[in-house]
Amino acid sequence: MDLRWALAPVVGGGAEVVPVRADGSAAGEIRRERDLVAAVASRPEVSRWIWRSTAEVYPRLLAAGVRVERCYDMECAEVLLLGHEGRLGEPRSVAAAWARLTGAPVPPDPPLRPADPNEQSSLFEVEAEPVPLPTLLAVYADQLTRHSRSQYPDRLRLLTASESSGMLIAAEMDRAGLPWSAEVHRALLTELLGERFGGTGEPRRLTELADQVSAAFGRRVRPDLPADVLKAFKQAGYLLRSTRRWELETIDHPAVAPLIEYKKLYRIYTANGWTWLHDWVHDGRFRPGFVPGGTVSGRWVTNGGGGLQIPKVIRRAVVADPGWRLVVADASQLEPRVLAAISRDPGLMAVSGDAADLYKAVSDTAFSGDRAAAKLAVLGAIYGQTSGDGLQNLAALRKRFPRAVQYVDDAARAGEEGRLVRTWLGRTCPPSGSQLDAQMVEDQIVEEPQVDERQARARGRFTRNFVVQGSAADWALLMMAALRQSIAGLEAELVFFQHDEVIVHCPAGEAEQVATAIQAAGDLAGELTFGRTPTRFPFSTAIVESYSDAK
């Protein structure tokens, strides 16, 4: 039985609570509780809490050792509903939703507080005025109605529930933290960069490489300043457009090798060096502040610390506690499998079944065993590679898997024409001409003849990938929600997630059970998201003591 209660924090640390009927109306008298945590902890029978924002409430509960099974995050729901209505980018707060409902002026969303790596709770705190519980219930009832009016109500309801679950998971992961050995990290930095000098000087290895670069040019050059490097190469007779590695490797000059090495180490020094370690790792844990649905496609981002860009070499510092293990699981070739499921292409679904290597299965079917060509063709269809060998490979793919290619072609055409495009569960791309649309189009623009045509093609490239990447994000949410439920009775903790990878920290004796639970969660998510199809979503899983040993 889905027993729902609504909760609204009030000034002073208390809360208003009330049971809620299926239509969103109050099923009893509103009760004023002096303590928000006690209000939740004293009602373990509640199966779903309805509140304005998980980020506002749940960290306080977790700090007191109180976990909830399910919630309905009204701000998450409002974002999804606004997107479905072609209004993505409008204020998402309950106050804004109430204003739209009553015809009052719509207030802007309150600003998010910047992340403070030294204060875990600040990763989630939002400055906002309390919302009276009757107002919250009125907005909730309206959201239920808007869900029922959507194109596929059951799908959008499922997406809203999984997005709300994602908010719970994010808070729990930041509470647990990713195990991190400061001792290993410091040793690694000394190994790579050499000892540190006093003051603001760079470590020894960077200083040596900078001297080698300058010696190669015959004058002092700052390798950390691209303009200075480009000027030095120009004076040496090499006209470069950038200092990217692939461009540097096209020329024969003694500065190239030390410059490439400097750039690689400098990135580590600035992004994950001693200062980063001091700011972001505390009590053996890294807490980046996960933000579910931080991009328009539904992918997660982090609130700081570069949590989703941990360099491979730095992963050596991600070490399980003594007697514990890291279960690291990667969904294999996720986006092509998602394309098979959403396009309902019978051929692609068939090869996405039991095959561990989808690209090999595609190559055996349509490319005479040429796996590289098959991979280029599949990724070209998803990302819009339609020139050179990509065009020829795409033609072969279209012949063998016509419905799959047509699906992304239709999404691209809809984007070019300015129409809304949705993921399988109903997450919607920004409307044409909106501020969010302008940003995503700018990211896709390449050199093309006319401005209008260039913008249309850029939007088409985005929407072509959006239907696949966004549907993969939908699947990942449900996978995480299923995994969270399946390990609820264990000591195991979800500690990391990015796109198609998940890490669980658990006692060594639970590791095999967790690995099995991850695959089961992926299978269940596939069925819940896309229905019963031949497509399978296998994981590549490793049980390790250090993250660096997983790949």
Rounded to whole angstroms, the Cα distance separating 425 from 338 reads 12
Q: Give pLDDT, residue 444.
A: 55
Q: Give pLDDT, residue 388.
A: 61
What are the residues whose beta carbons fall under 8 Å from the beta carbon of 433, sequence distance 6 or more?
A: 418
Q: What is the mean pLDDT of each run of 10 residues along the chain (551 residues)?
A: 91 94 96 96 96 96 96 98 94 96 93 57 52 96 97 97 98 97 97 81 92 96 96 95 94 96 96 95 96 93 91 96 98 95 95 88 89 90 73 85 95 94 96 68 50 81 95 97 96 96 98 98 97 95 97 75
Q: Which residue has the tokens 């200075």?
A: 228
What are the residues whose beta carbons fall under 8 Å from the beta carbon of 200, sequence distance 6 or more?
A: none
Q: Give pLDDT, residue 365.
A: 86
Q: Give pLDDT, residue 447.
A: 45
Q: Give pLDDT, residue 463.
A: 95
Which helix or strand (DSSP H or E) is residue 279 part of?
A: helix 274-280
Q: Give pLDDT, residue 192.
A: 96
Q: Which residue has the tokens 């490793």?
A: 542
Q: Give pLDDT, residue 170.
A: 97
Residue 276: both structure tokens together = 């980063």
Q: Give pLDDT, residue 232.
A: 96
pTM over 0.75: yes
Backbone angles phi, psi at 197, to 5 degrees: -95, 160
Quote helix, strand, coil % in the chain, to nearest 5.
Answer: 50, 10, 35
Task: Please report, to the nearest 10 degrees, the dihedral formed by the alpha carbons of residues 254, 260, 262, 263 taken in order.
Answer: 150
The β-bridge partners of 507 are 324
Rounded to whole angstroms, the Cα distance separating 511 from 492 reads 8
Q: Give pLDDT, residue 386.
A: 59
Q: Give pLDDT, residue 228.
A: 96
Q: Which residue has the tokens 């976990």?
A: 67
What are the residues whose beta carbons fall under 8 Å from the beta carbon of 481, sequence distance 6 or more?
A: 161, 162, 165, 166, 169, 525
Residue 369: both structure tokens together = 């065993």
Cα 96 → chain centroid = 26
Which whole-number Å values give the CA distances from 508 to 124, 505, 543, in the listed order? 31, 9, 9
Of 484, 486, 481, 490, whose CA–CA distance to 510 is shortest?
A: 490
| DSSP one-letter code for 479 | H
Q: Give pLDDT, residue 121.
A: 44
What are the residues whose beta carbons fall under 8 Å from the beta carbon of 372, sequence distance 6 or more?
A: none
| DSSP one-letter code for 194 | -
Which whole-number Å values give the CA distances from 69 to 80, 156, 382, 482, 519, in the listed order? 22, 20, 36, 12, 21
Instruction: Please compute Rg for the chain using Cα positions.
Output: 26
Rounded to whole angstroms, the Cα distance separating 148 from 155 reads 10
Q: Give pLDDT, residue 110.
A: 81
Rounded to whole angstroms, the Cα distance separating 390 from 380 reads 6
